[in-house]
Amino acid sequence: MDYRHKTVLVTGGTGSFGNFVVRRLLNAGVREVRVLSRDEKKQYDMRVFYQGRKDLTFVIGDIRNREVVDEAMQGIDIVFHAAALKQVPTCEQHPMEAVRTNVLGAENLVECAVRQRVETFVMISTDKAVKPVNVMGMTKALQERIVLKGNLSRANKGTRLCCVRYGNVLRSRGSVVPFFRRQLALGQTLTITDERMTRFLLTLNEAIDLVLYAAEHTQGGEIFVRKALAAKVTDIAQVLAAEAGRPFAYKVIGILPGEKLHEILVSEEELVRGRDYGDYYVVQPWWSTDRYQEIEAEFASGDHLTGTDEVQRMLALADREFEIMEMADGEFAKF
């Protein structure tokens, strides 16, 4: 897609994904990137880093506030919706806050995008939205339905809305990698909730590739899924311990509230509507009458495991991505 004549809104644009996609869009010559977030300090850091570029603007506010959303959406062609409460423990402890942001906030954005006739709306979802067992996953599953249902709104005059799903982004805020590295740096024993636990892994640039692919190819109503490798959490811990020059030792503390042993990116109920596009699966809208059945089985992390060598390679790649993005004082990579 040619972004030179596009104005793009990135909600949650000061987070890990937001920082990387803003850089990618600016490098692509976008007409304007507009960042909507609640974090004044992170917006200030980005403004300083980009030295007052005219093609990067900021709106302070919350997606729960319709007036803020309406202001931020003025003149927008494409929306990348990344703002959310994403931490499982936080959502478990404060379920209504998760509902207000992940569900009602998404509803505000969808209604505004349709009303203002935005061209394309891409919502960032998660593997936790598939057969959810925690509040975060449940609210993201509802968010998916709200976004996709926007395609059927009587008020919709051409806005195409879709979702993307992916698993754990290496080194992003709240992921297991910085958590383990922090424990190792402090000389603590690594804590693992269950030795059987697996997670999908991908880098931030792979996540951005998925989002940009969805924006270019959506017809409205699809869920785009990046085919991802998965690893045992114990293998991730082993690689990080070796990296730190520490003996590999851990203690099992038991599964935390809202955790699953294995995550799922495509459910068996979605298989009949799934198409295989090489690096991606695309789940067609639930209202579609077409049947493809190009995905053979439910895409679960426990069935697509890789080894420690691949985990080490992916971690090195993720570290390199963050080094490129890092500010001189290191703040940019901390998010």
Q: Which residue in 128, 140, 227, 260 is the catalytic one?
A: 128
CA distance 151 to 207: 24
First to last CA, the chain: 28
Residue 288 pLDDT > 90:
no
Residue 40 pLDDT > 50:
yes
pLDDT value at position 264?
94
pLDDT value at position 6?
98
pLDDT value at position 293?
64
Spell out the SS3 assignment of the chain.
Answer: CCCCCCEEEEECCCCHHHHHHHHHHHHCCCCEEEEEECCHHHHHHHHHHCCCCCCEEEEECCCCCHHHHHHHCCCCCEEEECCCCCCHHHHHHCHHHHHHHHHHHHHHHHHHHHHCCCCEEEEEEEHHHCCCCCHHHHHHHHHHHHHHHHHHCCCCCCCEEEEEEECEECCCCCCHHHHHHHHHHCCCCEEECCCCCEEEEECHHHHHHHHHHHHHHCCCCCEEEECCEEEEHHHHHHHHHHHCCCCCCEEECCCCCCCCCCCEEECHHHHHHEEEECCEEEECCCCCCCCCCCCCCCEEHHHCECCHHHHHHHHHHHHHHHHHHCCCCCCCCCC
Domains in the chain and their CATH numbers?
A: 7-325 (3.40.50.720)
- Is 41 marked active-site? no
pLDDT value at position 329?
44
Give the pLDDT confidence of 84-130 residue by residue, as tens digits: 999 999 999 999 999 999 999 999 999 999 999 999 999 999 999 99
Residue 163 pLDDT > 50:
yes
**Considering the chain, what percentage of its residues have pLDDT values greater than 70?**
95
Give the pLDDT confidence of 171-195 residue by residue, as tens digits: 777 778 889 999 999 999 999 999 9
Tell me the pLDDT band of 287, cut-offs 50, 70 and 90: confident
Lowest mean pLDDT, pick from 26-40, 117-131, 144-158, 270-284: 270-284
pLDDT value at position 300?
83
- Who contacts 334 (Cβ-Cβ below 8 Å, separation ≥6)? none
Mean pLDDT, range 47-60, rounded to an integer: 92
Q: Average pLDDT over the chain, rounded to whole? A: 91
pLDDT value at position 296?
67
Contact 165, 130 (CB under 8 A): yes
